[in-house]
Structure 1
Amino acid sequence: VLLIIFMISAPLLTVGVPVELPKTEASAVETTDKPITVSIDQNGAIFIGESEVRWEQLAIRVAEEGGEKARDKAVFIRADGRAPYQAVARVMARLSASGFTKLNLITDTAADEPAEG
């Protein structure tokens, strides 16, 4: 239940929090609604858009950001590859427990990586 949806999305988002996304070979997921973006930097700090959010206010702020039917919207989680796994897991668990079901982890594509051999 901790990772309800482990869908890998690779659209290029222009969010102001600089994170170094992990590389994967997954394809992009199509979405018609504007997603809610939650970012986690390398130190575990949480951001919605460009605004830092305290842990206690996470679910409330995501709901405010999404407006009506926020829990039906996609939530894109952009976690720095160097962020502690615990920080990412806690954010996903908090959102899941608050009724958000469309959680998506954002990554970069690994197509530009040189093959090891």
Structure 2
Amino acid sequence: MLGPFNRGGRRKPMGEINVVPFIDVMLVLLVIFMITAPMLTQGVQVDLPQVASEPIDPSEDSDPINVAVESDGRYSIWVGGDEPREVGIDEIAERVIILLERQPGTPVMVHGDRNVPYGQVVTLMSTLQTAGVSNVGLISEPPPGEN
């Protein structure tokens, strides 16, 4: 009498897949990604305050370098009370380097329109970081009624 696995000398094809090797591979990949993922994160280093923000004291010796990202994606730069001048993202780094060589330690303030994509502000801050700016201030307006 022939059994279910012995039909005429041929083996019956198995209808199940052994998933244990796949599980082993997935666990190894999970461990590898858990170890390497924290090493791959990139970011712009920003010195954030640890307390409620206070207005900036205007009695500082040097006027800040102001860089703005407008709602349509254009960039502008100016110092103190000067008129804003429209520039490209590449020109911002050059101008900031020149201004910081003249007066090291000059604060740099970023004015970002609320409708600007987050990526453009990050690109601007990264450009400032490559220009040698170690501390970037983000300008905001107080909510209505809080003056």
Name the TM-score, length of structure 2 as normaliser. Answer: 0.56
Q: Hey, what does 1:75 align to over in structure 2?
A: 108
What runs of 5+ residues in structure 1 fail to find an aligned partner?
Answer: 8-24
Q: Hey, what does 1:11 align to over in structure 2?
A: none
Matches within 5 A, 1:26-41: 26-30=53-57, 32=60, 33-41=62-70
Distance 2:114 2:53 in 1: 16
Determine if contact 2:97/2:132 at 8 Å carries over to the other structure: no
Distance 1:61 1:67 in 2: 10
* Count of aligned residue pairs for this structure pair: 95
Moved more, 52-61 or 26-35: 26-35
- Seq. identity, %: 22
What runs of 5+ residues in structure 2 fail to find an aligned partner?
Answer: 1-42, 79-83
Distance 2:137 2:119 in 1: 17
Aligned residue type for 1:98: A
Name the TM-score, length of structure 1 as normaliser. Answer: 0.69
Please say if 1:4 is aligned against 2:46.
yes
Aligned residue type for 1:84: P
Aligned residue type for 1:60: E
Counterpart of 1:39 in 2: which secondary structure?
A: strand
Structure whose residues are more often helix by fraction: 2
Q: Hey, what does 2:133 align to over in structure 1?
A: 100
Larger radius of gyration: 2
Q: 1:67 to 1:43 in 2, by over 3 A?
A: same
Counterpart of 1:109 in 2: which secondary structure?
A: coil
